[in-house]
Structure 1
Amino acid sequence: MNDCETEGRRSAALIVEEALGFLYPAALRAAAAVGVADHLTDGPRTPGELAKTTGTDAASLHRVLRLLATRGLFEEDAEGRFRLTEAGDALRTDAPVSVRSAVLMITDRTMWLPAGEMTRCLEDGASAFGPIFGMPFFEYFAQDARTAEIFHKGMASMSDAENQPIADACPFPERATVVDVGGGHGGLLLSALRANPSLKGILYDRPHVLAGHRLDTPDLTGRWSLAEGDFFTSTPPGDVYLLKRILHDWDDAQSLTLLRNCRRAMAPGGRVLVIDAVIPPDNAPHQGKTLDLMMMASLVGRERTAADFTQLFAAADLQLSRVIPTGTVLSIVEGVPSA
């Protein structure tokens, strides 16, 4: 066998292995859905024992856990028992930082099915969501309570692990009023207010979202308020506008409308802090490059580069002043009024 044939076989094996990779998140979803990690807090258990407590088939559960063990979330011992590893601990519902709800959101059919139809995006440049579900993502989201609950719980779960380091990295002026635009249940604003005692905050979102907010705690009494509305129509007055995982949901025209609303309501000397994944200009792996395809398949938005943000800000009478790393996959893209 010559070198060319050898390399060809290696390439073929690699590509087949990559194509099979979708089965790992499928297994991860299955394990999260039945809550198997919740039943391993007291030590290793056999698939049969776990099947009884989760109401599943023992043989099938064993096969799922065996695959997940290849990446270190579980570990099978010589007696055929599985234990939850330190790396897999966040799959527990009651873990200090649990991402079980995030896994269920990311792998929900509203994300999973469009990803399987990504060829549609290449053919017409549009989201694959509409042809599958009959309407755009956020319209479906508004009329389907199940999807809405999964989304809000998942976003809160996904955010809990990143809110504090992001809040610590945000350049908040003293005694500023911070408007968390589309802030969901207020996890980021909660972290920001606790880390900066001089700040006041406004959580701005739709009424049904605000109903689940987390700001009503004794240590924040008198420092926050809720504001209901549509950020494509207007935003409340303030000094600092937080847009965490918001712009990436929308195309440039919609994002520009939102930024202009913030710019219009902004107090003199104010700023916009867009908190999104910033795509690096190289071939290195980056979670933002993966999230970008989710945005393409299910929504209408995208992850952006620093150059993309520069252009978007300029059209909104803002200028990009700096990109601040946070220690998470997200960066803070700061926009200030154009000179």
Structure 2
Amino acid sequence: MSVLPEVRDQSDSYALLHLIQGAVITQAISVAAKLGIADVLAAGPLSVEDIANRTGSDPRATHRILRALCGHGVFAVRPDGRFEHTPLSDKLREDAPDSMRGFALLMSHPMLWEEWGHLLSTAETGEPNLPKLRGMGALDFFHAEPEYASVFFRAFGDLSASETDPILAAYDFSGFGTVVDVIAGRGNLLAGILKQAPGVKGVLYDSQVATVDSPALFEAAGVADRFTIEHGGYLDKLPAGGDAYLFKHIIHDFSEADAVTALRNAREAIAPDGKLLVIEYVIPENNEKHIGHTIDLWLMLMLGAQERTLAEYTELFAKAGFKLTRAVPTGAPISIIEAIPV
């Protein structure tokens, strides 16, 4: 009589295999974004033949990509074989509110994949790899590769824009007289703050290149009479006298020394009863799943910078003359970390 072999529990192995193959799903989502499949499905379900005709793709290959994505909740297939949107695939539309199409395109860019292929070097040395790989720092490389820079900043710009409404819903800015938004780009968040709080004035602080389109943005928001622009760099002295200094996704780009310098500049400029507002991902202490962990690896690889826990922000603020008072969660994975000068 034959003896059946003992059946091992391989569930953990296959769970890990799904994670390992995540790069395949990344590429499939990116291809769907490049083809514009989400856009052609905006009007309703379509057969794979219709999708392929409208996107200029091969029907069989398109079917196989869609079939794989359906298993991850990106697109769905009806009983009649037509494909349709899910809440996830809808965010791949070019014109979707809080669209992630730009990020999907970035994540398949050959230059990005090349950079992530050198994560081992950073793990071994503790140093950012991009300067060694490219022979220059990140900003210089973006200037040298404008096509890649366009894809990169479009992706992170869309992500940042998706955070504006959650920030405004979580925090009341109406008690401030003047909000200084530091390295704020065009100023989407500051414009939203001024709309939310009609009694507040704003100062948009960034380089001349970054703010060239800002007047039109504030005009369209109906708040152009309550904001001014001042130009400067990341570690320059800041406009004085504001009672709120706002740093959104800026401090996490800095080394520890530069972060302290930037915050000390705010400490020097802030009104005695003002508040520092740093808006960042806050790394959870218990290592639970959080987008901040993956962004932290990105910062480590490219810049030698980092995301921080609340305890690390408390320590960082103290070095710059601030006391952390609270961290306000938002509907996005970011928090508004509030501090006062001491």
TM-score (norm 2): 0.90
Choose which of 231, 235, 242 in structure 1 pairs with 2:234. Answer: 231
Number of the residue aligned with 2:314? 310
Partner Cα separation in structure 2 for residue 143 and residue 108 of structure 1: 16
Alignment of 1:1-339 (within 5 A): 6-7=8-9, 9-172=10-173, 174-213=175-214, 214-217=217-220, 219-237=222-240, 238-338=242-342
Partner Cα separation in structure 1 for residue 13 and residue 87 of structure 2: 34
**Secondary structure at the residue paired with 1:198?**
coil
The farther-off stretch of 261-270 and 96-105 is 96-105
1:218: how far off? Answer: 5.5
Deviations 1:70-101 (A, max 9, x none): 12220123443221223321211112332222
Partner Cα separation in structure 1 for residue 108 and residue 243 of structure 2: 37
C-alpha contact 1:110 1:129 (8 A) present in aligned 2: no
Q: 1:127 to 1:61 in 2, by over 3 A?
A: farther
Partner Cα separation in structure 2 for residue 125 and residue 29 of structure 1: 30
**Secondary structure at the residue paired with 1:275?**
strand
Partner Cα separation in structure 1 for residue 109 and residue 309 of structure 2: 27
1:173: how far off? Answer: 5.3
1:274: how far off? Answer: 0.6
**Secondary structure at the residue paired with 2:87?**
coil
User: 2:277 is aligned with what amino acid?
Assistant: L
User: 1:241 is aligned with what amino acid?
Assistant: Y
**Secondary structure at the residue paired with 1:91?**
coil
C-alpha contact 2:281 2:333 (8 A) present in aligned 1: yes
User: 2:114 is aligned with what amino acid?
Assistant: L
Deviations 1:124-149 (A, max 9, x none): 10122223322221221233322332
**Secondary structure at the residue paired with 2:233?**
coil
1:171: how far off? Answer: 4.7
1:325: how far off? Answer: 0.9
1:155: how far off? Answer: 2.5
TM-score (norm 1): 0.91
Q: 1:110 to 1:301 in 2, by over 3 A?
A: farther
Partner Cα separation in structure 2 for residue 20 and residue 326 of structure 1: 31
Partner Cα separation in structure 2 for residue 290 and residue 174 of structure 1: 35
Deviations 1:265-310 (A, max 9, x none): 2122112111001111113211111211121222321110011101
C-alpha contact 1:101 1:154 (8 A) present in aligned 2: yes
Q: Which protein has the larger Cα radius of gyration, Structure 1 or Structure 2?
A: 2
Deviations 1:17-50 (A, max 9, x none): 2211121122112211222211111112233322
1:204: how far off? Answer: 1.7
Deviations 1:149-204 (A, max 9, x none): 22332233112222112123235353521111121221211221111111111222
**Secondary structure at the residue paired with 2:65?**
helix
**Secondary structure at the residue paired with 1:269?**
coil
User: 2:66 is aligned with what amino acid?
Assistant: L
Q: 1:108 to 1:44 in 2, by over 3 A?
A: same
| Identity level (%) | 35
User: 1:253 is aligned with what amino acid?
Assistant: A
Q: 1:184 to 1:290 in 2, by over 3 A?
A: same
RMSD over equivalenced CA pairs, Å: 2.2
Partner Cα separation in structure 2 for residue 141 and residue 294 of structure 1: 16
C-alpha contact 1:234 1:261 (8 A) present in aligned 2: yes
C-alpha contact 1:152 1:184 (8 A) present in aligned 2: no
The farther-off stretch of 275-284 and 76-85 is 76-85
Q: 1:204 to 1:143 in 2, by over 3 A?
A: farther
Aligned residues: 336
**Secondary structure at the residue paired with 1:42?**
coil
Partner Cα separation in structure 1 for residue 135 and residue 69 of structure 2: 34
**Gaps in structure 2 of 5+ consecutive residues:** none
Q: 1:311 to 1:109 in 2, by over 3 A?
A: farther
1:11: how far off? Answer: 3.0
**Secondary structure at the residue paired with 1:72?**
coil
C-alpha contact 1:156 1:185 (8 A) present in aligned 2: no
User: 1:300 is aligned with what amino acid?
Assistant: G
